[in-house]
Amino acid sequence: MSGEKELRKLLGERIARLRKQAGLSQTKLGKLIGGVHQTMISQIEAGDRGIPDERLSALAGALGVDEAELTVDSLGESGSGKVSSEELRSAWRDRVAMDPSLDPFVMNMLMMVSAPVFRPAGNWLIHVTVEQFARETGRDLQRVEQHWQQMVDTPYLERVGEVEWAFWMTFP
C-alpha cells in the first residue's frame, strides 16, 4: 500500500468514526452532502478514494468539524482524535515487524533506519548512507553492505530520485 493510500485509509477511518459519532448511516451522510451515493461514502471511508473538493465543506458541516480536520495534512497533527505522525510511524514499524517475507536482519535494519537520527526533518524522509547506518547502529559495515540493497528493495522504502541515501518510508 502506498503512503498516500495509507493516509487516505487513516482519514477514511476518521470520517467513519465521526459519522458514527454523529449517528449517521453512510446513506444519510451521502444525502446530507448533496446526494452522494452510499458507495462513494464507503469508498472514502475505506481509503479507496479521496474526498471530492466540491464536497469537502458539506462533509465537514454534516460531521460537525472544520474542513481542515478532513484533509490528509491534518493526519500529522496531534490532539483531539487526530492521528499523530508518531502513530503513523508506529503503524509502519508494526507492518514491517509482521512481514514474514523479510529477512530478520533486513527487518532489524528497517526498524533502525526509521529512527529519528536518520530523519533529520522529523518527517517520513530518511537520509542515511551505508557507512553512517553502520556507525550509528553499531552494526558491522560488511554485513550492512551485504543486506543494504535487499533493504532498499523492500516495499517499505522508496528511493528519492537517483539519490543513493535518501528514501521515503512507504506503506506497501
Same domain, 38 and 69: yes
In a domain, 84, yes or no: no
Same domain, 23 and 69: yes
In a domain, 35, yes or no: yes
- What's the pTM value of the predicted model, to 2 decimals? 0.51
In a domain, 139, yes or no: yes
State how many domains the chain has.
Answer: 2
Chosen domain end from 14, 45, 76: 76
CA 30 to chain centroid: 26
Q: Domain of 15: which CATH number? A: 1.10.260.40
Q: What is the pLDDT of residue 47?
A: 84
Q: What is the pLDDT of residue 52?
A: 81
Same domain, 65 and 97: no
Are the C-beta atoms of 72 and 85 separated by less than 8 Å? no
Per-residue pLDDT of the chain (172 residues; tens, 9 = 90+): 455 666 677 778 888 888 998 899 999 999 998 888 999 999 999 888 888 878 888 888 888 887 777 765 555 443 334 345 666 777 788 888 888 999 999 999 988 888 877 776 666 778 888 898 999 899 999 999 999 989 988 888 877 666 667 777 776 6
Same domain, 62 and 100: no
Chosen domain end from 76, 100, 132: 76
| Residues spanned by the domain of 13 | 3-76
Q: What is the pLDDT of residue 78?
A: 36
Distance CA(162)–CA(151), nearest Å, equals 16
Q: How many CA atoms, within 13 angstroms, populate the side-chain half-sphere of residue 28?
A: 9
Residues with Cβ < 8 Å from 69, sequence gap 6 or more? 14, 60, 82
Q: What is the pLDDT of residue 81?
A: 41
Chosen domain end from 18, 45, 76: 76
Same domain, 51 and 106: no
Distance CA(29)–CA(41), nearest Å, equals 8
Residues with Cβ < 8 Å from 170, sequence gap 6 or more? 2, 3, 155, 156, 157, 158
Which residue matches cell numbers 473538493? 53
Same domain, 72 and 30: yes
